[in-house]
Amino acid sequence: MLINAVVLLILLSALNDPVQYRYHLTSSELGTDIDVMDDANICIATAISLLMILICGMATYGAYKQHAAWIIPFFCYQIFDFALNTLVAISVVVYPNTVQDYLQQLPGTFPYKEDIMSTNNMCLVFAVLLFIGCILSFKAYLIGCVWNCYRYVSGRGTTEVLVYVTTNDTTVLLPPYEEAIAIPPKDPPPQYMEA
């Protein structure tokens, strides 16, 4: 959410003063004189950034207020993002020459461009796949965290039978909490008589 807020501030400042933004874009170390971000692209990126802030805010609110339905949009976004990254990994496997093509499109001032291009193509593909694999593993972990949060929040309203395993041979089933409180004791405890 914070990263999207920073991106939104950068995009809004670019919309506010496009001359200064284009100056920084063309005079940067890695950039070229090609105008990559026109006003329409900046508006689209701003809308996407606002939508991401809204989705992240909904997930945060849903987790804080224990509303499971508010977490679902963020979970769907994570699944969609994971699917796109998986498609990128598949495209690198299917078309390994795209890595070299991408490197050739980089500007000449890109640091270590010649060193990277002189590397074996299979080593580059392996490095890219290793990097994407690490990202996919982290994203899968985060998807699992959000899913567990959703299950926890959605399961808090239901009463379930708790199972406590005492030994390998026996299992003790306890009634739900509300039923245990609502049932009054049937017989009073026995009175001990003194002899």
3-class SS of residue 71: coil
Given a cut of 70, the residues of the chain with pLDDT beneath it are: 18-38, 157-177, 179-180, 182-195
Place of tokens 């914070």: 2
Q: Are 121 and 100 contacting, i.e. CB atoms less than 8 angstroms apart?
A: yes
What pLDDT sits at residue 30?
Answer: 43
CA distance 186 to 188: 7
Q: What kind and span of H or E run contains 165?
A: strand 162-165
What pLDDT sits at residue 26?
Answer: 47
CA distance 130 to 135: 9
**Which residue type occupies 74?**
F
The torsion of the CA quartet 15, 17, 22, 23, rounded to 10 degrees, works out to -160
What pLDDT sits at residue 156?
Answer: 77
- pLDDT tens readout for residues 22-37: 544 444 444 454 455 6
